């Protein structure tokens, strides 16, 4: 198992502890990661795809060409990167004219899009390539007696024919089973399948609306579950659900909403015994108390 680790922009800059967790856990589970040297923004839907489609496809193709030269599929944690790259790849494969236009743009840089490598989300790799049994066997600190909720990254669900790997996308279960493999109990709630609302232009363009949207989800989680943490597998879900709890507490004048939020690989890293100071150091809602309980120190 060998993959090109596509970093994108937010993971390495905003939450490098997630990058560290991925770099430590994946090889330890037999999934070798190679760097995609010279990679750029995926690009984000709100960038080139919103102004110049061919330019956007060329930027995606730049990234593909790096993985193609190495002969590895790309794996990414970021939902937006995953979806942007999947959609771009489909367009490049299906539309010969666009592909030629993009390859004309790439040529002076000595690059070319051939369509020989796939884009994988890290949940897909963890579940289908690594497997829950291998994960379970690698644990030093299982999450026995811990209740969790999961946030499925919307970009890995829809449109299912382009991005889907869970079956069916409308009733995903892989992230849930991955969390259960850590020993935790996953509790469902009414708004479980609603997206976090943090991606795209919603927060920037309508902060009040986007906040209320997240508050409804967090409220439902509070009322309907006994969760001690939220597990996500997307940098946007991680940042947004963490930040929105702070917003909600500020609005309500209390500290009642305080679910620690973990990227799956961060939680996995803690359970595998890696140093929490490296793999879970950055958050708004404190995670230290729960981490101490997990590692019993």
By CB under 8 A, the residues from 85 to 114 that bind other proteins are 105-106, 108-110
Q: In terms of CB distance, is 258 or 282 closer to other proteins? A: 282
Residue 136 CB, shortest distance to other proteins, in Å, is 26
Please report, as residue ranges, which positions from 215 to 274 form the binding site for other proteins (by CB under 8 A). none
- Based on the number of CB atoms within 10 Å of its own CB, is 137 exposed (0-12), middle (13-18) or buried (19 or more)? exposed
Q: In terms of CB distance, is 57 or 148 closer to other proteins? A: 57
CA distance 37 to 1: 19
Please report, as residue ranges, which positions from 129 to 188 form the binding site for other proteins (by CB under 8 A). 154-155, 157-160, 163, 169-170
The residue whose two tokens read 């994960």 is 135
* Residue 114: Cβ within 10 Å count: 14
Residue 134 CB, shortest distance to other proteins, in Å, is 24
Please list, in sequence order, all residues whose beta carbon lies within 8 angstroms of the beta carbon of residue 142, skipping any fewer than 6 positions away: 136, 182, 183, 271
Which span sits near other proteins by CB under 8 A: 56-64, 184-192, 226-234, 255-263? 56-64
CA distance 91 to 137: 40
Binding of residue 209 to other proteins (CB under 8 A): yes
Q: In terms of CB distance, is 198 or 260 closer to other proteins? A: 198
Q: In terms of CB distance, is 204 or 296 closer to other proteins? A: 204
Task: Locate all alpha helices (DSSP H) within the chain, ordered by sequence.
Answer: 10-14, 16-28, 53-70, 79-94, 96-106, 122-124, 132-137, 160-163, 174-180, 202-205, 207-224, 235-252, 264-271, 276-279, 288-295
3-state secondary structure of 190: coil
Q: In terms of CB distance, is 52 or 144 closer to other proteins? A: 52
* Residue 132: Cβ within 10 Å count: 16
Q: How many chain residues interact with other proteins (CB under 8 A)? A: 71
> Which residue of 19, 77, 192, 239 would you call a contact of other proteins, by CB under 8 A?
19
Which span sits near other proteins by CB under 8 A: 41-49, 112-120, 121-129, 178-186? 41-49
């Amino acid at each position: 198992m060998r993959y090109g680790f596509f970093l994108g922009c937010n993971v390495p800059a905003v939450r490098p502890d997630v990058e560290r967790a991925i770099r430590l856990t994946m090889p330890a589970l037999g999934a070798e990661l190679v760097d995609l040297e010279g990679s750029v923004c995926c690009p984000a839907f709100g960038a080139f795809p919103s102004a110049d489609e061919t330019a956007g496809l060329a930027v995606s193709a730049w990234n593909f060409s790096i993985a193609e030269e190495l002969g590895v599929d790309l794996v990414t944690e970021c939902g937006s990167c995953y979806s942007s790259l999947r959609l771009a790849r489909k367009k490049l494969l299906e539309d010969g004219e666009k592909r030629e236009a993009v390859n004309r743009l790439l040529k002076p840089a000595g690059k070319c899009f051939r369509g020989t490598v796939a884009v994988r989300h890290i949940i897909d790799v963890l579940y289908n390539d690594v497997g829950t049994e291998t994960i379970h066997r690698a644990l030093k600190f299982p999450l026995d007696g811990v209740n969790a909720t999961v946030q499925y990254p919307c970009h890995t669900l829809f449109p299912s024919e382009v991005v889907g790997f869970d079956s069916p996308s409308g009733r995903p279960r892989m992230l849930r089973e991955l969390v259960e493999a850590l020993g935790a109990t996953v509790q469902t709630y009414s708004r479980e399948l609603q997206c976090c609302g943090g991606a795209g232009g919603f927060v920037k363009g309508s902060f009040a609306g986007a906040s209320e949207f997240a508050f409804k989800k967090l409220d439902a989680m509070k009322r309907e579950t006994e969760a001690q943490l939220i597990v996500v597998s997307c940098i946007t879900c991680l940042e947004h659900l963490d930040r929105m709890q702070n917003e909600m507490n500020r609005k309500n004048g209390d500290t009642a909403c305080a679910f620690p939020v973990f990227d799956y690989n961060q939680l996995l890293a803690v359970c595998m015994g890696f140093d929490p100071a490296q793999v879970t150091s950055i958050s708004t809602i404190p995670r230290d108390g729960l981490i101490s309980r997990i590692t019993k120190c």
